[in-house]
Structure 1
C-alpha cells in the first residue's frame, strides 16, 4: 500500500470519466501543493501501490502522494486542497493510515467542522 508517512490524495473523476481532464486537474493541484513551504514532494504513486480495483497506468491518474516536512504541514495541505476544491468543483479524498477525509462542495462551515475533526485525529500527541 502507499507510504503512510504522508497523506495520499485522490482527485475523484467526474461522471464522464475523462482521464485527460483528470490528469490536468491533478497536475494543477500538484503545482499548488508544491508551492507550500511544508511540502517536500507531491507526485503519483507507483502503479502497484494505487489502492482500489483499477489496473494499469490509468489507475494512477488522480492520485498524489505528498511528503511533508512537518506535521503542521498537514493543515496547510488540507487548506490548499479545500481552496482548490471550491474553485474546481471536484471532490478530493485525503487519506492517512486508512483514515479518509473527503473534501467536496459543502458549505464552508460544514467543511471546516469536518476538517477540524479529521485533523484532530492526526495531531501530534
Structure 2
C-alpha cells in the first residue's frame, strides 16, 4: 500500500477565473477520480487546506485523495493528466511534500516528468 496520507490535488486558478468556475471544475475532476481505484476524493474543510493556501484565504480548487495501491496512483495521475489536456488547467499533485505539476507541455515531456515522480513513490 502506498502512503497516500496527505495526497492532495490543487487545480490552479486561472488569472481571470472565478471561484464558482473553479468549484465546478474541481467537482468534475472529483467525479472522474471516483470512477477509478481511489478510496476517496474529497474537498477539504477550510481548516484542512494545506498551509500554502491558507494565506490566500483558503483558495478553492483542492482535493484530498486516498489511494490503496501504486496502480491506483498511476491511474489517478493518468486521469489527471488527461483532464489537464482537456481543460487547459494546471494541477499540482503532492505526496509528502513532493509535488508533481501537470501542465500543457508535450505528452512526451509530461510522461518523463510523471515517470520520475512515480518512481520516487514506488515501494522500495
Runs of 4+ off more than 2 Å: none
Q: Which residue is equivalent to 2:105? A: 106
Query: Does the Cα contact within 8 Å between 2:4 and 2:65 map onto a contact in 1?
Result: no
TM-score by length of 1: 0.90
Unpaired segments of 5 or more residues in structure 2?
none
2:86 counterpart residue number: 87
For residues 27 and 91 of structure 2, the distance between their equivalents in structure 1, rounded to whole angstroms, comes to 13
The equivalent residue for 2:70 is 71
Structure 2 CA distance for partners of 1:46 and 1:6, relative to 1, 3 Å: same
- Aligned pairs, number: 119
> Contact between 2:38 and 2:66, CA under 8 Å: does it hold in 1?
yes
**Aligned equivalents of 1:35, 1:120: Cα separation in 2:** 24
Residue 124 of structure 1 aligns to a residue whose secondary structure is: coil
**CA separation in 1, counterparts of 2:84 and 2:107?**
11
Using CA pairs below 8 Å that are at least 6 residues apart, which structure has the higher relative contact order?
2
Mapped partners of 1:27, 1:34: distance in 2: 11
2: distance between equivalents of 1:61 and 1:39?
21
Asked if the contact 1:6/1:68 (under 8 Å) is kept, the reply is no
- What CA distance in whole angstroms lies between the structure 2 residues aligned with 1:48 and 1:94? 19
What CA RMSD, in Å, does the superposition of the two structures yield over aligned residues? 1.5
Q: Which runs of 5+ in 1 are unaligned?
A: none
Deviation, 1:6, is: 5.1
Deviation (angstroms), 1:72: 2.0
CA distance in 1, matches of 2:69, 2:113: 22
What is the aligned partner in structure 2 of residue 50 from structure 1?
49
* TM-score where L is the length of structure 2: 0.90
